[in-house]
Structure 1
Amino acid sequence: MPPLPFRYRLLRGVVRAIVRLFFSEVAVAGRSNVPTDRGGLLVAWHPNGLIDPALILATVPGRIVFGARDGLLRWPIVGPMMRGLGTVPIYRAVDQEGMSPEQRRAANEKSLGALADEIAGGSFSALFPEGVSHDQPHLAEIRSGAARLYLQARAQTPPGQPPPVILPVGLHYEDKDVFRTDVLVAYHPPLDLDALGIDPDANTRETAERLTEAIEDALERAVHPTASWELHALMHRARTLIAAEAAARRGERAAPETVLSRTTGFAQIWEGYRVRSETHPGKIAALREATTAYHESLRRLGLDDAALDHPPRLGSGVLVVGALLQALAVLLLLPPLLVVGFVVNAPPYWLLKPLARLAAKAEKDAATVKIFGGLVLFPLAWITAGVLAARGVVRLGDSLPGLPEVPVVVGLVTVLLSAIGGVAALFYSEIAIGAWRAVKVRVARWRYHHQLDDLRIRRADLHDRFLALAEGLRLPQSVVRGS
């Protein structure tokens, strides 16, 4: 694998910091499937604009070169970063009114050759074969560009060097445009072209078509697509129902969810639904109706599946004492910092939501707008606070001549406290929101305790019906195929 240039490592570090600030958890599965002795082509679906390539860049080992529409390279902030990472421009007809089809075709052939050279030289490239980002819970039409790029890279690989591979990548967002939610990046094993009966050395139209079909099939299994968001949500409801009932029967609390456990559970439900929709369509339809009714009952009470058995933990005695001591320290030491953090950072934070609604053409662009808008608005807020603090010191010095004249120091300290206070306020707000939700669930359990037994009976019945349908199926035990 080629060594990483300093500029690349620096920019990748910046991207990693950005995505880890926006997302609460960035989990990675199957990183060992990415080979280190050769290059390859990563293929992924494209549900979240510029966030999709940012996540791949932040998590893939080694160097990766993207192809992107040329207009992005002219954007402020984004463009210089993309050029610094070696991004290759792709010219789309809709963006090139002044370019003839022949000129655009020649430019794209040159770009394709540059990407193929990178792959043949041992680097990785990434393409989104749908060709467009979207908000659907399923794949858009898969185009042949990824297959043609791979075949060209394979043909350009020097003799004696291991051939490049194609790796499907699953991008699984908890809530793709919501700040501080979770995301999973899953690297699946390389496509076995021999097993698929594809000869990659035969660089023909037929080979490209068959390889495109293989890529589409691999992405279907990596993405777990559904026909609608309603069905997608229903599968998650089935997953939580089964997990909560299984824990209750073991006499345990349901284990805290992670983005990896959520996605693995969803993959099992998806596979079972895919098979049984063909073999038992009537039972599947009845289960969909019953599961929807059960979760509607839970929603009206403000409860979730796990809350039927145990209220959320507010902490053991030792934890409570520790929390009280921590709260005392916070009251004595952190209020000024938290107040500064909230006052300075709240305006840009709340401004980003309406800004995303106005600037984003679709939901897929909202997270991108929030991230890059935040890169401008938050530092601007910190600098503004620093300037105001410095001016305040100057004016105060006019009234109190004995006061040290240190407006620059005060301004810089204010900028620093604004940034640190913003991070502190963010994490303490997450803790406060979690505690408030736990209190609400406890109150709901007390108010509606007479309905809990009926809901537990319905949950148990649904659990058994799901397991009966799953009997005999080989359900995935990992979100990454082959693990």
Structure 2
Amino acid sequence: MDSLLRGLGRLVLQAYYRQIEVTGSNHLPESGPVIVVANHFNSLVDGVVITSFLPRMPRFLAASTIWDFTPIRPILNAAGVVPLFRAQDGRKVKGSLPATFAKAAELLRSGGVLAIFPEGKSHNEPSLLPLKTGTARIALEADSTTDLLCVQIVPVALTFEAKNRFRSRTLVEIGPPITASPEQIEAYYSKNPAVRSGAVKQLTSQISECLQALAPRHETWDEARLIGRAAEIISQPGPNDAQHDGWATLNTTRRDLSRGYAVVRETHPEQTAALGQDLAEYDNLLRATALRDGQVVNTPPASVAPFIAKASVRFLFGLPIVFIGFVLNWPPYRVLLALSHWRDLDKRSTWSIFAGFFLFPIFWTVAAIISGYIGANLWGGSAFWISSFSVLIAGPVSGKLMLGYLDLYSETLAEARAWTRLRGANNLSDSLIEKRRVILEKLRALVEAYRADEALQEPD
């Protein structure tokens, strides 16, 4: 059952997100009790990502409110999700919280993996919320009742390029594990409530530090976007000079810049403000023209004809598949867009993915029945089953193939647009290249200033 659930999860997520990259898998112990703690930016999608892409499948501790969505109850039960009845949801039941924690501790004592979102709720903020103490309590409870079980607490950061945008990217970063210290476990044995509480708070603080070291941490989404833009620029100073080999490495640069920014805006406020203004102008210009930074630094070739010709050939050969995929998958996709549009930002991708899990098969089934009746009227009764079965197979297969063509179409359109706007008679290309050069110089100067300040603070 676990393999089936993980396979289904990967299938639906890889249909929605173009790329899901996992790093740090070696940090997750291959055996023994583990608590996975993760940031919670994307509602139920976060749980599916962790369940489907971690090396070991965890059992989740989740708010009982998700059982209100009746269609997904069988999935929750099959995945072994443990309900948590919380006062903040109006679901508190006497004795339920100790019972839930005891059940979680039992899972750990059996060597299992428990997953928790310690922020307590999903949100759309650009940084972590304060962590609840439940994770620390469960870890200490399991350790204190099993003679130093040494539960490994593993932080996992989920980063979404644009969590609600179809065919965007997702990054899963697994960090080094930590364990409760013998002193914390001993304190948890204490009959003094203050001592017990102190041990829980101390371990919670450690968990928070580990998770904050990986998870996105910004004051505003505008700040996050500009720091991301700065990471792109400093990672590729010149044409064909990329200093990163993937989104994970670029995200590490982004995280380092974010930490440095928190310092230099205090120590070098005027330089930081000037750089921020330049970045905002550059970013606004790129967004207004629908261009990417990589297209600016790597000026499009003199002719885009070979690229378009190659893409056109691929389109022509795949046209029948694209047409079938369009007919069988575009209508339910449009319905999903309409359904998710009215939801808050935090839950739009959840509605798209989970509703799509049911809506696409329903539409394929209806289309198969209609096709069967048409086939039977044209070629006889036996054609009903042949036509119906063909449509049921063609729905998901053509849909998956069509995704590849959609990605190709998007990339072709982006390159053609870049060539038109950067190779045109206007001065856009020169203006963008100059703005980028100035930003890179200021960025390097601030990085050097930050390093110099750090060197001065280091003890002799």
Q: So what's the TM-score if we normalise by structure 1? A: 0.84
Q: 1:312 to 1:39 in 2, by over 3 A?
A: farther
Cα deviations by residue, 1:267-311 (Å, 9 ceiling, x for unpaired): 121121122223222321221112112333344444333333434
What's the offset of the Cα at 1:178? 1.6
Q: Following the alignment from structure 1 to structure 2, what is the Cα–Cα distance between the partners of residues 469 and 260?
A: 23
Aligned 8 A contact 1:154 1:201 in 2? no
Indicate the percent of aligned positions where both proteins have the same amino acid: 26
Q: How does 1:349-360 map to 2 (within 5 A)?
A: 349-358=333-342, 360=343
Aligned AA (2:80): G
In the other structure, the counterpart of 1:64 is 58
Q: How does 1:72-471 map to 2 (within 5 A)?
A: 72-73=66-67, 75-96=69-90, 104-158=93-147, 163-191=150-178, 199-203=184-188, 204-244=196-236, 246-248=237-239, 252=240, 254=242, 258-312=246-300, 326-327=314-315, 330=317, 334-358=318-342, 360=343, 362-397=344-379, 405-447=382-424, 449-471=426-448
Aligned 8 A contact 2:311 2:412 in 1? no
Q: Following the alignment from structure 2 to structure 1, what is the Cα–Cα distance between the partners of residues 268 and 350?
A: 42
Deviates further, 107-116 or 414-423? 414-423
Deviates further, 436-445 or 9-18? 9-18
Cα deviations by residue, 1:326-359 (Å, 9 ceiling, x for unpaired): 455x1xxx4333222211211111111110123x
**Structure 1 unmatched ranges of 5 or more:** 1-6, 398-402, 476-483
Aligned 8 A contact 1:22 1:371 in 2? yes
What's the offset of the Cα at 1:258? 3.6
What is the SS of the residue equivalent to 2:20? strand
What's the offset of the Cα at 1:380? 1.4
Aligned 8 A contact 2:15 2:400 in 1? no
What is the SS of the residue equivalent to 1:222? coil
Cα deviations by residue, 1:49-79 (Å, 9 ceiling, x for unpaired): 1111111111222241111122323533421
What is the SS of the residue equivalent to 1:200? helix
Aligned 8 A contact 1:344 1:418 in 2? yes
Cα deviations by residue, 1:130-160 (Å, 9 ceiling, x for unpaired): 111101101223211111111111113356x
What is the SS of the residue equivalent to 2:413? helix
In the other structure, the counterpart of 1:481 is none
What is the SS of the residue equivalent to 2:186? coil
Q: Following the alignment from structure 2 to structure 1, what is the Cα–Cα distance between the partners of residues 282 and 315?
A: 39
What is the SS of the residue equivalent to 2:176? coil
Cα deviations by residue, 1:384-436 (Å, 9 ceiling, x for unpaired): 11111111123335xxxxx5742111111122123222222222121111101
Are positions 1:31 and 2:19 aligned together? Answer: no
Aligned 8 A contact 2:5 2:52 in 1? no
Q: Following the alignment from structure 1 to structure 2, what is the Cα–Cα distance between the partners of residues 291 and 124?
A: 43
Q: Following the alignment from structure 2 to structure 1, what is the Cα–Cα distance between the partners of residues 25 and 415?
A: 35
In the other structure, the counterpart of 1:12 is 6
Are positions 1:45 and 2:45 aligned together? Answer: no
RMSD: 2.7
Aligned 8 A contact 1:254 1:306 in 2? no
Aligned 8 A contact 2:300 2:423 in 1? no
What is the SS of the residue equivalent to 1:350? helix
Aligned AA (1:232): A
What is the SS of the residue equivalent to 1:178? coil
Deviates further, 197-206 or 57-66? 197-206
Aligned AA (1:291): L
Q: 1:433 to 1:326 in 2, by over 3 A?
A: closer
Aligned AA (2:259): E
Q: Following the alignment from structure 2 to structure 1, what is the Cα–Cα distance between the partners of residues 451 and 11?
A: 39
Aligned 8 A contact 1:253 1:310 in 2? no
Aligned 8 A contact 1:174 1:259 in 2? no
What's the offset of the Cα at 1:467? 1.4
Q: 1:474 to 1:128 in 2, by over 3 A?
A: farther
Q: Following the alignment from structure 2 to structure 1, what is the Cα–Cα distance between the partners of residues 312 and 432?
A: 36
What's the offset of the Cα at 1:228? 0.7
Aligned AA (1:339): F
Q: Following the alignment from structure 2 to structure 1, what is the Cα–Cα distance between the partners of residues 289 and 258?
A: 28
Q: Following the alignment from structure 1 to structure 2, what is the Cα–Cα distance between the partners of residues 458 and 366?
A: 36
Aligned 8 A contact 1:314 1:438 in 2? no
Q: Following the alignment from structure 2 to structure 1, what is the Cα–Cα distance between the partners of residues 319 and 360?
A: 20
Q: Following the alignment from structure 1 to structure 2, what is the Cα–Cα distance between the partners of residues 314 and 451?
A: 16
**Structure 2 unmatched ranges of 5 or more:** 189-195, 453-460
Q: 1:438 to 1:67 in 2, by over 3 A?
A: same
- Structure 1 runs of 4+ aligned residues shifted over 6 Å read 313-322
Q: 1:60 to 1:309 in 2, by over 3 A?
A: closer
Aligned 8 A contact 1:33 1:190 in 2? yes
Aligned 8 A contact 2:38 2:117 in 1? yes
Q: Following the alignment from structure 1 to structure 2, what is the Cα–Cα distance between the partners of residues 117 and 70?
A: 19
Aligned AA (1:110): A
Q: Following the alignment from structure 1 to structure 2, what is the Cα–Cα distance between the partners of residues 459 and 319?
A: 26
What is the SS of the residue equivalent to 1:132? coil
Give the count of matched residue pairs. Answer: 445
In the other structure, the counterpart of 1:22 is 16
